[in-house]
Amino acid sequence: MSEAVTMHPRLSIHQVGFGAQSLDQFADACVRIGARQLTLVSPLLLADGAASIRATLAERGLRAVNVAHGFCATPLSDPAGRSAARDTLLRLIDEAAALGVGTVYMLTGGRGTLGWEEAADAFAEAVRPCVERGRAAGVAIAIENASGLYADIHIAHSLSDTIRLAEIADVALCIETYFGWPEAGLAELIRRAMPRCTLVQLSDYVPGDRSLPSRAVPGDGAIPLATLLRIIHDAGYTGPLDLELLGPRIDAEGAEAAYARAGAVVTDMLTTLRL
């Protein structure tokens, strides 16, 4: 692994890249690579609880700023599944608030037998009490844009669709640059997204990669991240920037080494851009 540097304070490290490692192992890796902030996966927070996780992170000078969550384990066409998903998210919001997390960002669940508009309305109805609970607790409930190849677990794929769904459900949103960067009119979409944006995620795409997930360390691929960061900043975003790296390229390099290199590259990028 390359020599650790202190990452830019806006950067966070996503737990998903560290696979089956324990929280202690993940937190120790974050310290070694110079991170201050991290993104947790919701099963850990629901299982261990905020108090235990807070103690583990505090020992290392770390804090959790985001939680990744899959909202509905069954299709949105299943009323019982939506009800169970609502109950789980309400509990997650309480734990996230106790941990001091600012954003719970989600995949919605698939549409099942519903058309897109029907699924959007079903999601909005199911999540409404959670949005209200989150606002009272200081936790934003957000959705992200994700590939159509995830249609079995999500209904918002383009950034345009994600903005539309966020407006329907009155939720926040996460801009996932890995999936959003090829879209037409991206600068305009980013400006439209800004009033609801609470998280931006960064990685890279190497032309020719076809599998999912198949992300690369920033700087190794074709995504014009420096340009996107400038557009996002100029649109008014000054919040967390999450490094979410996973897939064969990351596995081959090793998660810790890949995240360390990503942190150094993006820190230099942000410093050069004076962001």
Q: What integer pLDDT is reported at residue 5 of this predicted model?
A: 65
pLDDT tier for residue 6 given thresholds of 50, 70 and 90: confident
Percent of residues, the chain, with pLDDT higher than 70: 98
- CA 256 from chain center: how many Å? 19
| 217 confidence band (pLDDT: 50, 70, 90) | very high
Contact call for residues 131 and 90 (beta carbons, < 8 A):
no
pTM equals 0.96
Residue keyed to tokens 């801009």: 175
Residue 265, Cβ neighbours under 10 Å: how many? 18
The model's pLDDT over 220-242, given as tens digits with 9 standing for 90+, comes to 999 999 999 999 999 999 999 99
- Is the confidence at residue 102, as pLDDT, over 90? yes
The DSSP line for the chain is -PPP-PPPTTEEEEGGGGTT--HHHHHHHHHHTT--EEEEEHHHHHHH-HHHHHHHHHTTT-EEEEEEEE--SS-TT-HHHHHHHHHHHHHHHHHHHHHT--EEEEE----TTS-HHHHHHHHHHHHHHHHHHHHHHT-EEEEE---GGGTTT-S--SHHHHHHHHHHHT-EEEEEHHHHTT-TTHHHHHHHHGGGEEEEEE-B--TT--SSS--B-TTSSS--HHHHHHHHHHTT--S-EEE---SHHHHHH-HHHHHHHHHHHHHHHHHHHT-
Q: What is the mean pLDDT of residues 30-47?
A: 97
Instruction: State the CB neighbour count (10 A cutoff) for residue 147.
Output: 14
Please give the pLDDT value at position 154: 98
Packing angle, helices 23-32 and 50-58, rounded to 10: 30
Quote the pLDDT of residue 2.
44
pLDDT of 127-176, one tens digit each?
999 999 999 999 999 999 999 999 999 999 999 999 999 999 999 999 99
Strand partners, 253: none
